[in-house]
Amino acid sequence: MNIKQLLVEKALAALSAAGAPEGTNPAVTQSTRPQFGDYQINGAMGAAKALKTNPRELAQKIIDNLDVADLAEKVEIAGPGFINIHLKPEFLANRLMTAEQDVKLGVASHAKPQKVVVDFSSPNLAKEMHVGHLRSTIIGDAVVRALEFRGDTVIRQNHMGDWGTQFGMLIAHLEDLLNQGVDLEKVALADLETFYRDAKKRFDDEEGFADKARDYVVKLQGGDAHCAKLWQLFIDTSVKHSEEVYGKLNVTLKRDDIMAESAYNDALAGVITTLQAKGLAVEDQGAQVVFLDELANKDGEPSAFIVQKSGGGFLYATTDLAACDYRSNQLGADRILIFVDARQSLHFSQVELTARKAGFLRDETSYEFCPFGTMMGDDGKPFKTRTGGTVKLADLLEEAIGRATEKLAARESDLSAEARAEIARKVGIGAVKYADLSKHRTSDYIFNWDSMLSFEGATAPYLQYAYTRVSSIFRKANVDSSNLVGAIVIDEAQEKALALKLLQLEEVLDLMISEATPHVLCGYLYELASLYMSFYEACPILKEDVAKETRESRLILCNLVAKTLATGLDLLGIEVMEQM
Ligand code: ARG
């Protein structure tokens, strides 16, 4: 049980003994400043209101009933009735010694693991992955890693867009190129962007091509073998492009995680039948539409959710309804998390409302649309190339590595060229990821090379550097960090602050998991690194006159900092190195 949970239990018992109404929220939080203690119990105010009594008096009663002798050295009332808890250094030291023995640093597995379906990355295969998919991919991946670290069962779902009318045009173009003997991977599909543009140009300008393209869509959807083969060729190459990007990004998605739109084809007709049978879908101008009063506009007109086009074609919406059914009813998900651009929020509200009414989503399944904001350029407009085109993810990552290489070249180093290239790769990719992950998921943010690659402030290079500094101590001391003896003794304020932060990893992960927000972990690691720097300044470790026990204790703290930084960064998909 983490410290917060422990205090919640104790606070609940004390509140009840003090006569607070059943179900009072104890409102236990981490204190924001050392003078407010380490944790606060803020539930006295709410309870006093309900009881119509004086909150400070009630707070005193709560304290009288609070059984924290083992863990707190001081408990005091502040302001209108806050209860500030100052933890005992020995309590923190003991907990840390236990955490030190654990590969997961004391982070326990959920007592009741959940089955969580996570829909992330999900690029459209007609084109190359662009920066819009960067956010979905790395935010989703970080949340997935944290869920698994906490013991939940995660089913990754890469809901790739591999179906739709544009594929008619693409395979018609592909067929012509193949007939001309063009090498598929090296030439025709080496650059999907160009391929798409060429096909589109022919579709718009070339006589007869559009007809052929439309004919191929119908054939493809009807299961024609020749068209299916061309389509498969196209999809395979496109998937390979995505996999290259995943590899570069150090993302955990594998081919098996692909559950593309086309996988739901056979279920789509059934979705419509069910919606009709339940009286949810009705015909409107030849199309099948679900009208949703819950999402009505100002004039009271219900929102129209089209689930089948007038020609009989199915849509993105139909597929998402089938996906709900699969994930909730077949996979048995407790939670479904979907990481998609905020601009699709109406769509997902429509999907959830409809799916709940139709029984495609069980009540027990929570459906969590996790939107994210837009990545902006320095000009404050959506991130584009200088000529206004979409930035390819692969190019962006290459540029990140190139810039990191330049930056690192300016530092002195006796490492081999190979080792330095490897470091530059980790720094460049880490910088892009941390810059993105550290912003609140829902806000737009400005993509800026200089700030993300800086060695100062909350950046990946700063944290990676902090890690190398901590590990260098063991090299300097000529001590094997896996073989530390002695015990933690906390005397100095900087030691206590560091110890407390180290013990809060699980609390941070819980927040990150419940809200699907990696930025809280980013913030935590930055605070940890900063506290380490203050500790390092104030608390000598290897100096001659430092007592042996103190040195041992501080080395254990260093080791825990190193392990926590490495673990935390790994949960963000960011790699560390021993030297920089
Ligand atoms: N392929 C879509 C896009 O790029 C994202 C799919 C998200 N997942 C879903 N179940 N609709 O916009």
Is residue 246 assigned to a domain? no
Distance (Å) from CA 517 to ligand 1 centroid = 19
Distance (Å) from CA 161 to ligand 1 centroid = 7
- Ligand 1 pocket test target in 344, 345, 370, 372 with most atoms within 8 Å of CB: 344
Name the band, by pLDDT with cuts 50, 70 and 90, for residue 102: very high
Is the domain of 137 the same as that of 266?
Answer: yes
**Sequence-ordered alpha helix ranges (H) in 449-543:** 449-452, 460-477, 493-502, 505-515, 519-538
Give the closest residue to 43 by CA, choosing from 68, 72, 22, 74. 22
Which atom of ligand 1 is nearest to 340's Cα?
Answer: 7
* Residues 157, 163, 166, 170, Cα dihedral to 10°: 90
Residue 53 pLDDT > 90: yes
pLDDT at 577: 96
pLDDT at 169: 96
202 CB near ligand 1 (under 6 Å): no
161 CB near ligand 1 (under 6 Å): yes
Residue 348 pLDDT > 80: yes
Distance (Å) from CA 408 to ligand 1 centroid = 37
| CATH number of the domain where residue 60 is located | 3.30.1360.70
Rg over CA atoms, the chain: 28
Is the domain of 139 the same as that of 172?
Answer: no
pLDDT digits (tens, 9 = 90+) for 119-128: 999 999 988 8
Distance (Å) from CA 200 to ligand 1 centroid = 22
Is the domain of 172 the same as that of 155?
Answer: no
320 CB near ligand 1 (under 6 Å): yes
Is the domain of 331 the same as that of 406?
Answer: no
Is the domain of 371 the same as that of 286?
Answer: yes
* Residue 177 identity (one-letter amino acid): L
**What's the mean pLDDT in 284-303?**
96
Is residue 244 assigned to a domain? no
Residue nearest to atom 6 of ligand 1 (CA): 122
End-to-end CA distance of the chain: 37
Q: Please state, in angstroms and as integers, the Cα–Cα distance from residue 432 to each residue in 46, 230, 360, following that order.
A: 43, 36, 38
pLDDT at 311: 87
> Which residues have a Cβ under 8 Å from the Cβ of 49 and sit 6 or more positions away?
55
Residue nearest to atom 5 of ligand 1 (CA): 122
Name the band, by pLDDT with cuts 50, 70 and 90, for residue 71: very high
- Ligand 1 pocket test target in 118, 120, 122 with most atoms within 8 Å of CB: 122
Is residue 256 assigned to a domain? no
Is residue 228 assigned to a domain? yes
Q: Of the residues 238, 253, 282, which one is the last residue of a structural domain? A: 238
* Residue 370 identity (one-letter amino acid): C
Q: pTM here?
A: 0.95
**What's the mean pLDDT in 481-504?**
95
pLDDT at 75: 97
Q: Which helix (H) or strand (E) holds 245?
A: helix 225-249
Distance (Å) from CA 567 to ligand 1 centroid = 30
340 CB near ligand 1 (under 6 Å): yes
- Count of CB atoms within 10 A of residue 267's CB? 17
Percent of the chain with pLDDT over 90: 88
Beta pairing, strands 303-308 & 281-284: unpaired
Is the domain of 323 the same as that of 228?
Answer: no
pLDDT at 507: 97
Which atom of ligand 1 is nearest to 316's Cα?
Answer: 11
46 CB near ligand 1 (under 6 Å): no
pLDDT digits (tens, 9 = 90+) for 182-239: 887 777 777 888 899 999 999 999 999 999 999 999 999 889 999 999 999 999 999 9
pLDDT at 191: 82
* Residue 330 identity (one-letter amino acid): Q
119 CB near ligand 1 (under 6 Å): yes
Owner of token pair 């006295």: 44
Give the closest residue to 134 by CA, choosing from 144, 119, 147, 122. 122
**Inter-residue contact 132 to 233 (CB < 8 Å):** no
20 CB near ligand 1 (under 6 Å): no
Percent of the chain with pLDDT over 70: 100
3-state secondary structure of 337: strand
Is the domain of 367 the same as that of 421?
Answer: no
β-pair partners for 157: 119
Is the domain of 182 the same as that of 297?
Answer: no
Is the domain of 510 the same as that of 474?
Answer: yes
**What's the mean pLDDT in 265-281?**
97
pLDDT digits (tens, 9 = 90+) for 543-580: 999 999 999 999 999 999 999 999 999 999 999 999 98
CA distance 448 to 435: 9
**Looking at per-residue confidence, does 282 or 391 come out higher?**
282
Is the domain of 425 the same as that of 408?
Answer: yes
CA distance 503 to 488: 13
pLDDT at 388: 79
**What's the mean pLDDT in 394-408?**
94
Is the domain of 526 the same as that of 445?
Answer: yes
> Any idea which of 178-187, 274-283, 324-333 has the lowest mean pLDDT?
178-187
118 CB near ligand 1 (under 6 Å): no
135 CB near ligand 1 (under 6 Å): no
pLDDT at 337: 98
| CATH number of the domain where residue 127 is located | 3.40.50.620
Q: How many domains does the chain have?
A: 4
Range of the domain at 502: 393-571
Burial class (CB in 10 A: 0-12, 13-18, 19+), 286: exposed
pLDDT at 268: 97
pLDDT at 255: 96
What rounded mean pLDDT belongs to the chain?
95
